[in-house]
């Protein structure tokens, strides 16, 4: 058996392979430079053009681009009317921003446990958490695998609850043949460098609802409502909004990236197939699932360790993989474990057993379109090497 790097052996590769990474090419750079040479570097025409391209791709009527995905979630909660006294149900296994956005609006994030197979919020658990105060649901398409959207939309529709889908992982994904972005009342995207396309920082809200759209335009631009009948300069603030604007040159980058989105997704799925094939016979590892009727776009590839078959815990295996120069990660520390959520809302370990069990066993392997076949082979080799060393 080969000596593990963590025990002084030779690492599988030189140089750390990150878990996610952007792919910027010369055309992207040229697009940004072109935009920077224009008259308006913020609020220029590239913004509307980018919004139009993403909305069309996702099958949504309207889109509002903003400065990041967190601002997009915040804006969506605000225009859905989330305010003090309201409850919003989301998943414990998500980036904290999904819950933080509710807090920004004065609301209470209520968590509903996940399904063991998809790692997505369990609709049966949502139903248990409904109260007359429930104002919105924020399902998160974990890792790019869509939630059970028909059921979630049904739960919400009967009760006039707004569904804000956190699709930060799921640009391009499909549910029953429909593109993500065309189903929920509002769908939120992120263009952080590790996501499917990047604008550096950036985010977007997609909707078919004209009223939400108009409110989003106002909210992300200070709350400014123009009243030209009172003079060209004149505007009013009915309700203070935020400056959540994105810049024109970021949208130029986004548009250029959109041209390669389908290729990016294809490459991600190719790598996933290689991982699935490599690990399908490894009893110590559970590989991610693609839900029925869904086409996932795999922002993340999370393996779960079957602890009963291993001599080492998750932390030890994580450290061993890092020592092999595989930039593994963990997604995510459950929302209810964060000190703020414990103190403010009284959550405690044990509240969400399925989420916690998942969290204790999860390791995210590197996955991004620019990975070479050699990178993929290195990951597979390192995982096999480490599992072999710690096999019971
Ligand atoms: C990335 C991400 C966000 C936030 O997006 P930013 O652009 O980083 O602000 C929100 N939710 C989830 C699930 C994410 O992965």
Query: Using one digit for the tens of pLDDT, what is the confidence trace for 184-204?
Result: 999 999 999 999 999 999 999
Instruction: Report yes or no on 17 lying in a domain.
Output: no
Distance in Å, CA 66 to ligand 1 centroid: 12
Tell me, yes or no, whether 234 and 305 share the same domain.
Answer: no
Distance in Å, CA 28 to ligand 1 centroid: 22
Q: Which of 258, 276, 298 represents a domain boundary (last residue)?
A: 258
Distance in Å, CA 189 to ligand 1 centroid: 8
Tell me, yes or no, whether 190 and 168 share the same domain.
Answer: yes
Which of 104, 166, 298, when mutated, tests ligand 1's pocket best, judged by the most ligand atoms within 8 Å of its CB?
166
- Continuous H helices in the chain: 26-36, 45-58, 69-79, 97-104, 123-129, 149-157, 210-219, 248-258, 261-279, 314-323, 339-345, 353-361, 373-390
Q: Give the pLDDT mean for 95-104.
A: 98
Distance in Å, CA 392 to ligand 1 centroid: 38
Is the distance from CB of 76 to CB of 216 less than 8 angstroms? yes
Taking CA atoms only, the protein residue closest to ligand 1 atom 5 is 69
Please give the torsion angle defined by the CA atoms of residues 376, 382, 388 and 389, in that order, rounded to the nearest 10 degrees.
-170
Q: Is the pLDDT of residue 152 over 90?
A: yes
Residue 27: per-residue pLDDT: 98
Instruction: Report yes or no on 247 lying in a domain.
Output: yes
Q: Tokens for 148, please give them.
A: 């059970």
Q: Which of 207, 228, 258 represents a domain boundary (last residue)?
A: 258
Taking CA atoms only, the protein residue closest to ligand 1 atom 6 is 69
Q: Is the pLDDT of residue 98 over 80?
A: yes
d(CA 156, CA 151): 9
Q: What is the CATH number of the domain that holds 214?
A: 3.40.640.10
**Shortest-distance atom of ligand 1 to CA 299:** 15
Tell me, yes or no, whether 212 and 305 share the same domain.
Answer: no
Tell me, yes or no, whether 212 and 312 share the same domain.
Answer: no
Q: Give the pLDDT mean for 311-339.
A: 98
Count other C-beta atoms under 10 Å from residue 193's C-beta: 18
> Who lines ligand 1 at CB under 6 A?
68-70, 94-95, 97-98, 140, 166, 168-169, 190, 192, 203
Which of 142, 164, 192, when mutated, tests ligand 1's pocket best, judged by the most ligand atoms within 8 Å of its CB?
192
Q: Is the pLDDT of residue 276 over 90?
A: yes
Percent of the chain with pLDDT over 70: 100
Tell me, yes or no, whether 282 and 164 share the same domain.
Answer: no
Tell me, yes or no, whether 249 and 274 share the same domain.
Answer: no
Instruction: Report yes or no on 250 lying in a domain.
Output: yes
Q: Is the pLDDT of residue 223 over 80?
A: yes
Q: Is the pLDDT of residue 24 over 90?
A: yes
Tell me, yes or no, whether 276 and 336 share the same domain.
Answer: yes
Count other C-beta atoms under 10 Å from residue 230's C-beta: 10
**Shortest-distance atom of ligand 1 to CA 192:** 7
The band of 363, judged by pLDDT with boundaries at 50, 70 and 90, is very high
d(CA 361, CA 303): 8
Tell me, yes or no, whether 148 and 208 share the same domain.
Answer: yes
| Domain limits for position 104 | 26-258
Residue 1: per-residue pLDDT: 77
* Residue 273 CB contacts under 8 Å (≥ 6 apart), including other chains: none
Q: Is the pLDDT of residue 73 over 80?
A: yes
Number of domains in the chain: 2
Residue 19: per-residue pLDDT: 97
Q: Which of 229, 258, 287 represents a domain boundary (last residue)?
A: 258
Instruction: Report yes or no on 19 lying in a domain.
Output: no
Nearest by Cα to 72 from 180, 154, 190: 190
Distance in Å, CA 144 to ligand 1 centroid: 12
Buried b / exposed e over 6-33, threshold 16 CB at 10 Å, is beeeebbbeeebebbbbbbeeebeebbe
Residue 158: per-residue pLDDT: 84
Distance in Å, CA 371 to ligand 1 centroid: 22
Instruction: Report yes or no on 10 lying in a domain.
Output: no
Instruction: Report yes or no on 7 lying in a domain.
Output: no
Buried b / exposed e over 342-376, threshold 16 CB at 10 Å, is eeebebeeebbebbbebbebbbbbbbbbebeeebb
Tell me, yes or no, whether 68 and 47 share the same domain.
Answer: yes
Distance in Å, CA 69 to ligand 1 centroid: 5
Tell me, yes or no, whether 249 and 265 share the same domain.
Answer: no
Tell me, yes or no, whether 353 and 251 share the same domain.
Answer: no
Distance in Å, CA 70 to ligand 1 centroid: 6
Instruction: Report yes or no on 3 lying in a domain.
Output: no
Which of 69, 142, 184, 299, when mutated, tests ligand 1's pocket best, judged by the most ligand atoms within 8 Å of its CB?
69
Residue 67: HSE in the Cβ half-sphere, 13 Å Cα cutoff: 10
Nearest by Cα to 197 from 259, 244, 248, 245: 259
Distance in Å, CA 166 to ligand 1 centroid: 8
Q: Give the pLDDT mean for 149-165.
A: 96
d(CA 367, CA 159): 39
Is the distance from CB of 70 to CB of 219 less than 8 angstroms? no
Distance in Å, CA 101 to ligand 1 centroid: 11
**Shortest-distance atom of ligand 1 to CA 195:** 1
Q: What is the CATH number of the domain that holds 267?
A: 3.90.1150.10
Q: Is the pLDDT of residue 122 over 90?
A: yes
**Shortest-distance atom of ligand 1 to CA 140:** 13
**Shortest-distance atom of ligand 1 to CA 201:** 7
Tell me, yes or no, whether 221 and 311 share the same domain.
Answer: no
């Amino acid at each position: 058996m080969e000596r593990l790097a963590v025990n002084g052996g030779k690492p599988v590769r030189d140089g750390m392979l990150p878990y996610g990474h952007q792919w910027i090419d010369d055309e992207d750079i040229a697009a940004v430079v072109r935009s920077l040479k224009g008259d308006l570097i913020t609020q220029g025409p590239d913004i509307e053009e980018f919004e139009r391209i993403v909305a069309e791709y996702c099958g949504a009527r309207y889109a509002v681009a903003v400065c990041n995905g967190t601002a997009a979630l915040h804006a969506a909660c605000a225009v859905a009317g989330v305010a003090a006294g309201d409850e919003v149900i989301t998943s414990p296994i998500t980036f904290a921003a999904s819950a933080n956005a509710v807090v920004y609006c004065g609301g209470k994030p209520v968590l509903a446990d996940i399904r063991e197979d998809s790692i997505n919020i369990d609709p049966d658990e949502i139903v248990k958490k409904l109260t007359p105060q429930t104002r919105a649901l924020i399902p998160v398409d974990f890792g790019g695998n869509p939630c059970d959207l028909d059921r979630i939309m049904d739960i919400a529709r009967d009760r006039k609850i707004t569904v804000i889908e956190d699709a930060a992982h799921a640009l391009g994904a499909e549910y029953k043949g429909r593109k993500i972005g065309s189903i929920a009342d509002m769908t939120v995207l992120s263009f952080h460098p590790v996501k499917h396309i990047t604008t550096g920082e950036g985010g977007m809200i997609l909707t078919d609802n004209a009223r939400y759209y108009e409110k989003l335009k106002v909210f992300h631009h200070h709350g400014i409502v123009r009243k030209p009948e009172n003079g060209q300069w004149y505007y009013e603030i009915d309700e203070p909004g935020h400056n959540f604007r994105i810049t024109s040159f970021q949208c130029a980058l986004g548009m250029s990236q959109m041209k390669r989105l389908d290729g990016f997704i294809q490459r991600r799925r190719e790598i996933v197939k290689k991982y699935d094939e490599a690990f399908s016979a490894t009893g110590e590892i559970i590989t991610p699932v693609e839900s029925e009727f869904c086409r996932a776009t795999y922002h993340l590839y999370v393996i779960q360790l079957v602890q009963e078959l291993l001599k080492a815990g998750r932390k030890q295996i994580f450290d061993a993989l890092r020592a092999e120069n595989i930039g593994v990660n963990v997604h995510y520390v459950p929302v209810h474990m964060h000190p703020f959520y414990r103190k403010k809302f009284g959550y405690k370990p044990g509240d969400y057993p399925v989420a916690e069990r998942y969290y204790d066993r999860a390791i995210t392997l590197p996955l991004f379109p620019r990975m070479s076949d050699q990178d993929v082979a290195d990951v597979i080799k390192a995982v096999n090497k480490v599992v072999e060393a710690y096999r019971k």
